[in-house]
């Protein structure tokens, strides 16, 4: 594996070492598809509001999770999300609400308990929204219906259209539904649907590639959706998972955002995110097909500060604005006092970077002391040379786009010029 190396001269004042490595990116003609985003957070706080405010200028609209319902007779429960509807009413872009319905296989008749429960929850949600002066641009039903039950699901939609006629009713749709003749009738009873082309198949081993969105299949599904002559959006992923494997490399579990399961201490953990390069090229390929019924892209999900298993907003913004993606790692040296230098790794690129990052400092003065931070150790190879390397057995580090981490410090016996050598091994 060939490392990427840079050598630059650095003076006493703070400065930056960087390297840039080209990659086939998504530079092409301006995008014509509008972009929207899901807000799927269940806790509304300032970080979430800040993210929405920041993103709305680049997005056509948003869809927020408003409630999650389980209508099975033996475990009926509901969660109405405490959405800040007053805040949403202040936005300049349309915002829809999503009602998530958990798996269900019972009766779909309008008088059935499940149907009545769904209507009551939606009425409660709309009442809360009205009280805050907010009217949703759509009511989107997110229900992974069994293929054999699509005719029954259509009854739900027909009843919802009648009860909530002043709101457009849309649904999320799985690609497998399009192979069923009942789907055409279901789709045409809606005011549009969202084709979900991202999903997860359980890997068998750590060597197996995990892909949240297969571009070849996604393009095929978009073309297939065209034949129903119903407006649709395509949902694309920004998120990821933690995958856990045992010492033999066999899959043992996964985790999304939240508390990490209590896996064994010797488990191998791999982070897998949607690949922004693949998704950017997918959008380009979809646009090249000129699908007349495709009304836009809706991303799952809105990046929020602290969301570790998601793209950074900067990454998503580049795709929304149809800008090329770049990768660039900088090393920033900060001098808080004479003779003391703090060493930072900075991802100044547009995408997250993973690898073993190694930094070498070559000074024109003797190093008196040095230490590593954030999983790094400082190794002195000469009186005037310090190496910052990941600890033995450390997993590949993921450095988020537009983020920096402090990996160590050095103290010299006098002011000095420094040469820096940076290596990445993937």
Q: What is the pLDDT of residues 221-249, one digit of tens each?
A: 999 999 999 999 999 999 999 999 999 99
pLDDT score for 88: 98
User: Which segments of 93-132 are extended strands (E)?
Assistant: 95-101
pLDDT score for 30: 39
| Residue given tokens 């992923």 in the structure block | 237
Q: Which residues contact 366 (CB under 8 A, 6 or more apart)?
A: 383, 384, 412, 413
Which residue stretches of the chain have pLDDT < 70? 1-31, 258-259, 393-396
Report CA-CA distances (Å) from 30 to 90, 125, 319, 389.
30, 38, 11, 42
pLDDT score for 322: 94
CATH fold match for the domains 6-22+327-425 and 35-239+274-320: no
Q: What is the CA radius of gyration of the chain?
A: 25
pLDDT score for 105: 87
- At the second CATH level, the architecture of 35-239+274-320 is Alpha-Beta Barrel (3.20)
Other residues' Cβ atoms within 10 Å of the Cβ of residue 256: 11
| Residue given tokens 């602290």 in the structure block | 306
CATH (residue range 6-22+327-425): 2.60.40
Render 288-336 in DSSP notation, one character per residue: HT--TTEEEEEEE----TT-TTB--HHHHHHHHTT-----EEEEEEEEE
Total-model pTM? 0.88
Q: 15-49: per-residue pLDDT in tens? A: 333 333 334 444 444 347 999 999 999 999 999 99
Backbone angles phi, psi at 153, to 5 degrees: -60, -35
pLDDT score for 24: 43
pLDDT score for 395: 59
pLDDT score for 380: 87
Q: 81-92: per-residue pLDDT in tens? A: 999 999 999 999
Which residue ranges make up each domain of the chain? 6-22+327-425, 35-239+274-320
User: Percentage of residues in the chain with pLDDT exceeding 90?
Assistant: 75
Give the span between the Cα atoms of 55 and 36, in whole angstroms: 10
Q: 396-407: per-residue pLDDT in tens? A: 678 999 999 999
pLDDT score for 393: 55
């Amino acid at each position: 594996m060939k490392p990427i190396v840079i050598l630059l001269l650095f003076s006493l004042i703070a400065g930056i070492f960087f390297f840039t490595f080209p990659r086939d990116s998504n530079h092409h003609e301006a995008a014509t598809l509008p972009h929207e985003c899901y807000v799927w957070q269940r806790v509304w706080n300032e970080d979430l509001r800040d993210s929405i405010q920041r993103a709305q200028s680049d997005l056509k609209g948003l869809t927020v999770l408003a409630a999650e319902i389980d209508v099975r007779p033996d475990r009926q429960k509901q969660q109405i999300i405490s959405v800040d509807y007053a805040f949403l009413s202040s936005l300049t872009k349309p915002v829809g609400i999503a009602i998530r319905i958990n798996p269900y296989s019972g009766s779909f008749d309008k008088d059935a308990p499940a149907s009545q429960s769904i209507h009551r929850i939606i009425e409660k949600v709309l009442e809360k929204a009205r009280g805050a002066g907010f009217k949703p641009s759509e009511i989107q039903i997110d229900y992974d219906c069994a293929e054999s039950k699509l005719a029954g699901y259509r009854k739900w939609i027909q009843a919802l259209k009648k009860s909530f006629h002043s709101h457009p009713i849309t649904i999320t749709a799985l690609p497998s539904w399009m192979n069923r003749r009942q789907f055409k009738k279901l789709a045409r009873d809606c005011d549009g649907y969202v084709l979900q082309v991202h999903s997860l198949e359980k890997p068998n081993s750590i060597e197996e590639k995990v892909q949240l969105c297969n571009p070849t299949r996604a393009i095929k599904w978009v073309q297939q959706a065209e034949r129903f002559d119903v407006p649709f959006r395509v949902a694309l992923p920004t998120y990821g998972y933690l995958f856990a494997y045992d010492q033999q490399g066999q899959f043992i579990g996964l985790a999304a955002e939240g508390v990490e399961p209590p896996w064994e201490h010797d488990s191998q953990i791999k982070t897998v995110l949607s690949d922004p390069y693949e998704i950017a090229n997918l959008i380009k390929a979809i646009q090249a097909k000129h699908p007349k019924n495709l009304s836009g892209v809706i991303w799952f999900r809105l990046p929020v500060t602290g969301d570790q298993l998601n793209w950074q907003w900067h990454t998503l913004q580049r795709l929304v604005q149809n800008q090329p993606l770049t990768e660039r790692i900088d090393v920033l040296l900060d001098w808080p006092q004479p003779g003391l230098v703090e060493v930072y790794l900075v991802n100044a690129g547009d995408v997250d970077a993973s690898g073993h990052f190694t930094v070498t400092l070559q000074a024109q003065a003797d190093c008196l002391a040095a230490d590593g931070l954030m999983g790094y150790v400082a190794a002195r190879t000469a009186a005037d040379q310090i190496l910052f390397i990941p600890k033995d057995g450390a997993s590949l580090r993921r450095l988020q786009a537009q983020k920096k981490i402090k990996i160590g410090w050095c103290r010299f016996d006098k002011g000095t010029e420094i040469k820096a050598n940076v290596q990445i091994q993937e």
